[in-house]
Structure 1
Amino acid sequence: MIKGKKINIAGFIKKMNDNMIFSRIPYFCKELCYSTDNATSMNNTFSDNSQIGVVFTFSELVNTHFQGAMNAMCWHRNLVGDFKEIVSQLQLKENITEVSIEDLLALQLSEKGNLAREIILHDIQLLTDFGASPSLNLLKNYERDDEFDFISTDVYSFHVDRSPIGTDTFLCTYHGAASDIIPNDQVEQKILIPEIREKLKKLHDGPEAEFETFLKDNFFDLHYQPNPNAQPVNLGLGHLWRLAVDHPEQEVLPCVHRAPVEEGGEFRLLVIC
């Protein structure tokens, strides 16, 4: 895991009133902000899916090993708090705007808005302490790749993440449309589909020995086509996910996922790293 810079959230929050002191957040969030009851968590749409492991704590999320077909880990949570209020007060500066801790703390929020903010701060601190570099994003839309009519390499296409070192992808959507994952046996790598492969060879127009390198350099090999009867799984709101990445030490297949098409101009708020 790539080491992230330590965020002194406590220092920021001490400038606010006593109800926002970060040292109280772990207990506060556990008791009031989301349910961690095991029986409740097991009775969810993910528990019977062999691709997904369901856990009840952050420690389990980061320490449970992927194995077999399981390449997605879900810390299942039922969050309370008004995340929509946070979204309504943040300023979208670009299609993807990174929200700083200072921006978040500067918001004047209701009690439910404060609950939502404390959950986000707690998640950021947990991920940072683990060694990740979380980014809180207010998102209108991602950039589209429409250069070719037979293959796309944007995040709306089912794809896997790749890293030269051992790492995982973490994400949680607090507001707006959530991402999808799909079992590896329900997709086909696009570069192996004959008609797409032939078009890519024409596009390459170079030595055969360099074709595979061309595919990797342009990220074509990361993208997948769902089978006709494929059943994607929506990741839902409030759950913190860990997805397997393609890297040299990986023991399972990387998790195939995609970003959702935004719904009616609604902004998304998510943490990702």
Structure 2
Amino acid sequence: MSITPSEKNQIGIVSSFSELVNTNFQGVMNAICWNRNLNGDFKEIVSELKLKENITEVTIEDLSSLQLSKNGHIAREIILNDIQLLSDFGALPSLNLLKNYERDEELDFFSTDVYSYHVDRSPIPTSTFLCTYYGAASDILPNEQAIQKILIPEIREKLKELHNGTEEEFETFLEEYYFDLHYQPKPNAKPINLGIGHLWRLAVDNPHQEVLPCIHRAPKENDGEYRLLLIC
């Protein structure tokens, strides 16, 4: 994966799973990439899997039962190995076949779905891991290139009207409904695409995190194409 000099500050590049999980986030670096050029036919796996819902979780049994070519078998072994590595680390990886995520259209001025730039939050020290094996890949955004949506005056005023309570209760309201997790790109912001086959670790907002959480979003899916995503 080639990154620009400006992206090097935010992204740490490693060459093994051990480095991925043992490298500390620091400074403005809140995303770490296990840079990989994977062999195997992941498209074949996607074509053999059955989409049951817009987001279908694929079990190890589902994956193992597929009748695949040699290149399809290579791709399957890579996925199974990634699942094993993450599970042994203590994570709970989920392999998803995705048509699309559910859209949040309840408020016309504020979307809280995963297509909106957002950060993840956890009450315990953790990270978000993800790898797109096939289909459109997610984007991240440097923190200085985004603004928290709740700090944009016109959006904040509309949220206050929606809440209609005290200022102290308002801050709790923003957290309870996850409004505070979402960001808007600044003019001329330059998203960084995470690419295919790389295993990423993103910083999460938690009480022990020493860096800013990584701002990211799900991509708009390519027409007629499913995504195959490992995430935890």
Same fold flag (TM > 0.5): yes
Deviation sequence 1:175-227 (CA, Å, 0-9, x none): 00000000000000000000000000000011222000000000000000000
Is the aligned partner of 1:56 residue 2:15? yes
2:69 aligned residue: 110
For structure 2, the 5+ residue unaligned runs are none
Q: CA deviation at 1:237?
A: 0.1
Measured in 1, the distance between the counterparts of 2:226 and 2:77 equals 20
Residue 154 (structure 1) aligns with: 113
User: 2:213 is matched with which residue: 223, 244, 254?
Assistant: 254
Unpaired segments of 5 or more residues in structure 1? 1-40
Q: Which amino acid aligns with 1:181?
A: I
Q: Max radius of gyration: which structure?
A: 1
Verify: 1:175 aligned to 2:134, yes or no: yes
Identity across aligned pairs (percent)?
A: 74
SS in 2 for 1:265: coil
Partner of 1:138: 97
What is the number of residues matched between the two proteins?
231
In structure 2, relative to structure 1, the CA distance for the partners of 1:235 and 1:122 (3 Å cut) is same
Corresponding residue of 1:17: none
Residue type matched to 2:84 in 1? Q
Q: 2:187 aligns to what SS in structure 1?
A: coil
1:133-175 deviation line (CA, Å, top 9, x unaligned) = 0000000000000111111000000000000000000000000
CA contact (8 A) 1:75 1:239 kept: yes
Alignment partner, residue 20 of structure 1 = none
TM-score normalised by length of structure 1: 0.83
8 Å contact from structure 1 (residues 46, 54) kept in 2: no
Q: Deviations over 1:56-92 (max 9, x none)?
A: 0000000000000000000000001000000000000
Matches within 5 A, 1:74-89: 74-89=33-48
Q: Tell me which residue corresponds to 1:45.
A: 3
Deviation at 1:49, TM superposition (A): 2.1
Contact kept in structure 2, 1:155 and 1:259, CA below 8 Å = yes
Taking a change above 3 Å as real, the CA distance of residues 56 and 126 of structure 1, as seen in their structure-2 partners, is same
Q: Report what 1:68 is aligned to.
A: 27
Larger RCO (CA within 8 A; separation ≥ 6): 2
TM-score by length of 2: 0.98
- Residue 212 of structure 1 is matched in structure 2 by 171
The structural deviation recorded for 1:45 is 2.4
- Between the aligned partners of 2:31 and 2:60, the Cα distance in structure 1 is 28
